[in-house]
């Protein structure tokens, strides 16, 4: 074999080994940082793979994508009086090239789930994209709000428009505009904040928690009472 090709193979192998070492170091660094963040916030840290998270939160469709689904770097505990769980998440998809060779694609993102302790109604909020502008012309419209800035930056969908307006009141819209633009989803009694195919930085875990807790704290008292089934006189309805 010509020496040129031998050198190429040696360089390729060295690069692969170097990348594997670097990747392992980055994973270890993230685990240590997340463990520290969890401890500082009074949370339990579980670095091992957890294949049951998607079952516990199965109402959230983003956790049902692909195969080999698992959470890792899981942080669980309470924030105030609310139970929360933050984690990194993995799933894989497959494709075939023109020669029929199967390729595996690994996907990673982060999410944070807070239990509201209330029976919430479905609501989906995400950053608005260019495609959303196009779909408006074919009748697929999101819910717009009095805040033109919020309506331009977020796509909102819910089967109950009144519920969307109750949740996204002026105070909550201002809160969401002040923080990173997460995907926010209400399902059952839980609210999830996540990025689509992107992991959080530690600061973004903190921001996601503040956004979700803020949204729940800003729910109008009349709406909370309605969700709890309590009438205006303080009696169960």
List, run by run, the mean pLDDT of 10-residue segments along the chain (237 residues).
63 60 65 92 95 93 94 94 95 85 92 96 88 51 87 93 96 96 96 94 94 96 89 48
User: Which pLDDT score is estimated for 27?
Assistant: 73
Where do the domains of the chain lie?
41-228
Angle at 49 between CA 47 and CA 53, to 5 degrees: 105
Q: What is the pLDDT of residue 191?
A: 98
Would you state the pLDDT for residue 6?
Answer: 59
pLDDT reported for residue 22? 42
**C-alpha to C-alpha distance for 206 and 41, rounded to whole angstroms:** 10
Structure tokens at 155: 């796509």
Q: List, as own/partner pairs, every contact residues 18-21 make where C-beta atoms lie below 8 angstroms and the sequence separation is at least 24, other chains included.
A: none
* DSSP states of 168-210: S-HHHHHHHHHS---EEEEETTEEEEE-TT-PPPHHHHHHHHH
- Indicate the burial class of 234 (C-beta count within 10 angstroms; 0-12, 13-18, 19 or more): exposed
The model carries a pTM of 0.83
Which pLDDT score is estimated for 64? 93
Torsional class of 80: left (φ above 0), alpha (ψ -120 to 50), beta (otherwise): left
- The residues with which 90 forms a beta bridge, in sequence order, are 70, 108
């Amino acid at each position: 074999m010509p020496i040129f090709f031998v050198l190429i193979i040696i360089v390729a192998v060295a690069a692969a080994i170097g990348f594997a070492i670097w990747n392992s170091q980055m994973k270890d660094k993230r685990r240590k940082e997340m463990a520290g963040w969890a401890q500082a916030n009074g949370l339990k840290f579980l670095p091992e793979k957890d294949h049951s998270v998607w079952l516990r939160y199965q109402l959230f469709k983003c956790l049902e994508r692909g195969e080999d689904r698992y959470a890792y770097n899981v942080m669980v505990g309470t924030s105030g009086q609310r139970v929360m769980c933050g984690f990194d998440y993995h799933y894989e998809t497959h494709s075939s090239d023109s020669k029929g060779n199967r390729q595996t694609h690994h996907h990673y993102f982060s999410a944070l789930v807070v239990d509201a302790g209330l029976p919430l109604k479905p609501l989906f909020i995400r950053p608005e994209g260019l495609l959303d502008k196009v779909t408006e012309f074919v009748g697929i419209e999101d819910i717009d709000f009095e805040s033109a800035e919020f309506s331009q930056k977020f796509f909102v969908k819910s089967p109950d428009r009144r519920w969307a307006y109750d949740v996204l009141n002026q105070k909550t819209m201002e809160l969401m505009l002040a923080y990173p633009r997460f995907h926010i989803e209400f399902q059952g009694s839980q609210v999830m904040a996540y990025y689509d195919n992107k992991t959080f930085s530690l600061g973004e875990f903190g921001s996601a928690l503040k956004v979700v807790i803020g949204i729940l704290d800003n729910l109008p008292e009349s709406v909370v009472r309605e969700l709890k089934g309590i009438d205006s006189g303080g009696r169960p309805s």
